[in-house]
Structures are given as structure tokens and as C-alpha cells.
Amino acid sequence: MSGPSTYNPKSGLERWIDARLPLPRLLHDTVHTFPTPRNLNIWYTFGGILAFCLGVQIVTGITLAMHYVANANLAFNSVETIMRDVNYGWLIRYIHANGASMFFLAVYIHMFRGLYYGSYKAPRELLWIIGVLIYLLMMATAFFGYVLPWGQMSFWGATVITNLFSAIPVVGSHIATWLWGDFAVGDATLNRFFSLHYLLPFIIAGVVVLHIWALHVPGNNNPLGIDVKSPQDTVPFHPYYTVKDAFYLVLFVILFAAFVFYSPDFFGNPDNYQPANPLVTPPEIVPEWYLLPFYAMLRSIPSKLLGVLVMGGAIVTLVFIPWLDTSRVRSCRFRPLMKQFFWGLVVCCVLLGYCGAQSVDAVKFGIPMVWVARIASIYYFAFFWLIMPIIGLIETPKKLPASIAQSVLGDKAAAPAE
Amino acid sequence: MRLTNLSLGIALGLLTSVSAFAAEGVSTKRLHPKAAEFEFEGPFGTYDRGALQRGYQVYKEVCAACHAANLLSFRNLAEPGGPGFTEAQARALATAAKIPAEPNDKGETTDDKGTPLMRSATLADRFPSPYPNENAARASNSGALPPDLSLIVKAREGEAHYVYSILTGFHEKAPAGFKVTEGKYFNPYFEGWNITMPPPLTENGVTYSDGTKATIDQQAHDVVTFLAWAAEPKMEERKRMGFGVMVFLIVLAGLLFAAYRKVWKDAH
């Protein structure tokens, strides 16, 4: 997508197509010869894994939509019909349901990898921001999707989340009514959520194209965080990274399949096997695991409006990271101080997730969980708005290697390329 | 083995209930379900056909008096991965069941005396419901609604163990200081400890045709197996396919690893 093209049409047909629509040239330059740093590690395979996840969700989702009925009276049983009477319907639904969890697992690893190696820093700011946008779209899509089976947790989850908008002063309750299409979560809500759940993945796919485009202009960052300086620093994407990505993808699929075939309800909530009932509130309303850290932040703040603002702020913060990090060095590998604060952030996010799964007044090991959530939330914001700018200024980074090739190949790098 | 675990579970359960009681007055949080063992657990577990057939009998003779199972049809009884009835047996079971008939040629749904018209079920029909509607169900059960059993095993935290514990948890004594609500029954495995359902299973409450002794534990084990199948009828197919998929993926991963090593041999 960038740099001089190395495509060389071999046959007359290829030349004919290339002169009219250079699609083969585009593919050749992006997935075949694309020069990729030779030192990418396992954490860099998650981009490809995420593309796979999106594909799986779209294919299984379209198939499920052929049998699903978006109607408050029929939705629950239509899902059970898929599970019982549609050929391999159980398989398709379990792949789709667990696929959402796998998608988020991969995206969280992908995001933390970007944070650790400074992949958001110039010239990759837009690449990062587009990524945040994809993450936001993913959360919306997953939320809409979770509502569709119309079980108890679907219904009450939708009620809790849409009610958050009513915290906005003056217009809040009108916005909630507008979102519902009714005066409560009901058939109209279910229908529009289904419509949006079908639409958003294609928007995600479009934004993913932008993400890859924005990746291919500056090229990949790498674990050293230093720029590619010579062709010796890179290898062609194919076969080097096609084979590496494929291997790690299959390992990922093994984990995926273990859930689908042996513990398909692992990420689910038993309450969602009870049909939605507006008259019975479940004792605990819990979102899916991948939204729990934000849910914990929301609940740790006594004021609803403030809680919503903090939760929204936690995501909006991500957009500013490229400018909050003042360090000249990208990779945490050479940032001894930042590395420790980074792991602190990982721990806090996991803690927040844990707190989000507990009841509001839970006390574990004598510690009220709401306070754990509060401290972890404070660290989350402090990490980005205070620690990141300050550490970048005061930290003395370790010495960077001269080049990727030298770091990987050692003395061999000095030898002329064959 | 199952019985040892069971007694251990009960002992532990009582201990925890006593200590919880001693610690904070009357805590009516439900006990952790008993550690019963079921043949269908584990990556290679399958439903025990005998237990499924006996469990269907318990369901039909005991549970179905108050509980519906709306997602199940008689045809399911003869489907692969299920109780293993032959199609003829399933048809006979269907024929014996009476369900409300469709309007007759004159458009009537009741006879001259106002009695609803009934007909025999077919393989395609769903299991009959004990009550015509929710209000009727509540009216007959002191205001409580007996939940539909089609998905009960998957719809409860603790799954099969929870349902098993409820069914076998009635004989435990309420701790001193806990007063069982009028018209309810003590069951420490149920949240709040007061359950509206009367103890459904009795020793030899059903007569098994295969000679199995119908203890309460045996009936509970059988009916929970049946309900687990009702909630997850494709489990055997799922685990079987999963094994093939896993073998395939592991072989593929091995091949890709070899290819990966070969391609990268000189690159790092």
C-alpha cells in the first residue's frame, strides 16, 4: 500500500487486469512482499488472529441470522430451535458466542502489546486511534449481540446499559426513550439492536481496512521499537509471517475449540438460559467478562452521572495516548521504569475485571471490593494522565541497539546480504 | 463412590451451614451444591441410556405433574444422543399422552358439556404442559410458578449438581433458630432455604422396569441425567466432533510448526 510496488505481472491476463484494476498488485504488495521487521514476536500474531476472529463472527453470524427471529416473544425459542433442530446449529451458535470472548481476549492482548512496545507513537498515532475506534465498535456490537437471545441477562443487561444514558442531565431520559423506541426495553429495542448488530461488523470490517492501510504506510513497529533502517532489518511478509501467523493462529484456534466443544457455556451466565422477564430482576446483573473492568469503574462511583463520565473517560483516554507519552523511546524493553508501571496497569485492569464480577457490597479477604475498584480506577487514569507524561521526561532509557538486523543476527548482520 | 461423595457433601454442607449459622445468625444463603458424579461429565462423558430412560419415567410420573418442558418433543426421545427409545416406543409414549386438540370441523374446542377436546400426541408434538397458563400454575402452587424444566440444568449456577442437590436436599434438618415459612419446605440448597416445591421424590416412588432399586438418590441421579440431556441434547455429538477437531488441529499445528522452523531457519 506504500512505497514502490514490486509487482511484476507475468502473463498477458495479469497485465491486462493490472492496467485496469490493479487489485492483484495491491494484494501482492500488502500480503506477499510487504517488508516486515524480522524480529516480531508471538504478540504480533494477534493482528492476524483478530482478522480471523472478525471473519468467523461474520460468517457464523450471517448463518445464525438465517434462523434467528428478532421478536420479543419468539427470540428465545428461536435460539433454542437453532440449538436443537437446525443442522449443526449448536456448533454455529457456540462458535459465535465463544467467538466474541475469543475476539476480546485477542484484542486485549493486541492492545496491551501496542502499549508495551509503544506502537501508538509517531508515526503510528492514527493507526492507534483507528484501533481504539474498532475496539469501541466491537464493544457496541458485542453488547447488541448479547441482547439478542433475549434471556434474563440479555434483557436486564440492556436495561442497565441503556439506563446509563438517563444519567445525562435534562435530556437523559429522552435519550433513553429514543434508544428503546418505547418507554422500556422491549420488542422495538430488540429489533433495532438486531439491525445494528448486523450492521456494525461490516463497519468494523471497513475500519479494519483503514487500520491495515495505516499500518502499511509506516510499516510494523517491532519489539525493539526502533525504525527499520535497511532491507536487512526486514523479511518479506510471505512466507515468513504467513507461516508464523498461521502456526500461532492454529494454537489460538485450539484454545477456541476447547471452549466451543468442551465448555461452551464457560463465559455465559446461567440466567441467560431463562427467558427474559421484565417482572423479575435477577439478583446480580453482570455484563460479559470483557466489559467488567468498565462496569467496576461505573459502580465504584456513588454518583451515576460521574460514574458514566468516568467509564466513558476510560475509553476516550485511549485516544490521547500518543500525545500523553513523552518518551523518545518506544519500547518498554528499554524503559525500566515504564515497564513496571505498565505491569501495574495490567494488574489493575484484571483487578477491575474481578471487582466487576462481584456484587457491589462484596468483601474479599476483609477488603471491600468497591475500594479495590476505586484504587484500581484511580491508577488507570493516573497511569495515562500523570505517569505516562512524567516518566517519559524523567526516565533514562537503556541503550538502543544499532539496528534490528544487528540485534537479531548479531555478527552475521555485518556480512553482505546474499 | 458416588455415595461416599454424597455423604461427604452432606456432612460438609451441614458443617458449613452450622458454622455460617453460628457466625452471623441466620444466613440463608444457599449451600454449595453436592459433589455428585454423573456419567455425562468430562470430555468423553456420555449420557447413560438407562439413566435417561429411567429419568424420563421419573420426569413423566413425578415432575410433569407440575412442571412443563416446553422445548421437548416426543420425537426427541428417539433421536441420536438421547434416551435411545426406538421410534415405535417414542410413538407409543406420545400416543399415551393427551394434549388439547385443535378446533374441530365446527370450530369448537370443547364438547357439548364444555370439556376441552383432547387428542393423542404425535411424535411431532411437544410434551404436554400440566397447566393451561401461568396463572393456573401459580393458583395450584401457592402462588409460586414451577419453572419450565427444558433448560433448568443450564439455567442454574451449579448446573446438574444444583438440581440434584435440590432434589435430595429435603431430608436435612433446619438449624435451630431458622423457622420454615408456613406452606414451604426447608431445603438448604435453595436460595433463602424456603422452597415451595414439596419433596418430590420418595423411596420407591416410581417402579423401574429394569429392576433398578428406586432410592431417592437413584431417582434424582436419573432425572437429573434426563434433564441434562433435555437442556443439552447435542452434547454427545459435540464432544465427539470436538475430539476429531482437536486431533486435526494438533496435527495441523505440528505441520505448521515444522514449516515455520524450516522457513525461518536462516532468518534468525
Per CB-CB distance under 8 Å, the chain B contacts of A235 are 267
- What mean pLDDT comes out for the span A284-300? 94
For residue A367, is it left (φ>0), alpha (ψ between -120 and 50) or beta? beta
B1-70+148-233 to CATH, choices 2.60.120.20, 3.40.50.11810, 1.10.760.10, 1.25.40.80: 1.10.760.10
* pLDDT mean across residues, chain B: 89
Tell me what percent of the residues of chain B surpass a pLDDT of 70.
90
- What mean pLDDT comes out for the span B20-32? 64
- What mean pLDDT comes out for the span A101-112? 98
Q: Identify the pLDDT of residue A2.
A: 54
Per CB-CB distance under 8 Å, the chain A contacts of B263 are 239-240, 243
CB proximity A265 to B under 8 Å: yes
With a cut of 80, say whether residue A418 has pLDDT above it.
Answer: no
Q: Identify the pLDDT of residue A359.
A: 86
With a cut of 50, say whether residue A291 has pLDDT above it.
Answer: yes
Per CB-CB distance under 8 Å, the chain A contacts of B233 are 84
Round to the nearest angstrom and report the end-to-end CA distance of chain A.
Answer: 27
Of A228, A402, A225, nearest to A331 (Cα)? A225
- What mean pLDDT comes out for the span A171-179? 93
**Candidates A90, A253, A274; nearest CB to B234:** A90
Q: Identify the pLDDT of residue A110.
A: 98
Tell me what percent of the residues of chain A surpass a pLDDT of 70.
97
Q: Which residue of A has its CA nearest to B81?
A: A84
Q: Return the residue in B73, B229, B241 with the most chain A beta carbons within 10 A, the one to mutate for interface testing.
A: B241
Question: Strand pairing of B185-186 and A234-236?
Answer: unpaired
What CATH code is assigned to A37-285? 1.20.810.10
Tell me what percent of the residues of chain B surpass a pLDDT of 90.
78
Backbone angles phi, psi at A69, to 5 degrees: -120, 115
Q: How confident is the model at residue A3 (pLDDT cuts 50, 70, 90)?
A: low
With a cut of 70, say whether residue A1 has pLDDT above it.
Answer: no
Domain A288-394: which CATH class?
mainly alpha
Q: Identify the pLDDT of residue B16.
A: 42
Q: How confident is the model at residue B20 (pLDDT cuts 50, 70, 90)?
A: very low
| A262:B263 CB<8 A | no
Residue ranges per structural domain of chain A: 37-285, 288-394
Q: Which residue of A has its CA nearest to B255?
A: A247
C-alpha cell at A348: 489493575
**At CA B36, angle to CA B30 and CA B40, rounded to 5?**
120
With a cut of 50, say whether residue B22 has pLDDT above it.
Answer: no
Q: Return the residue in B76, B138, B232, B263 with the most chain A beta carbons within 10 A, the one to mutate for interface testing.
A: B263
Could you report the per-residue pLDDT of B177-213, keeping only the tens digit for each?
888 888 899 999 999 999 999 999 999 999 999 999 9
Q: Which residue of A has its CA nearest to B151?
A: A273
pTM assigned to the model? 0.92
> Which value, to the nearest 10 degrees, does the dihedral of the CA atoms of residues B30, B32, B34, B37 take?
130
ipTM over 0.85: yes
Q: Identify the pLDDT of residue A115.
A: 97
| B242:A261 CB<8 A | yes
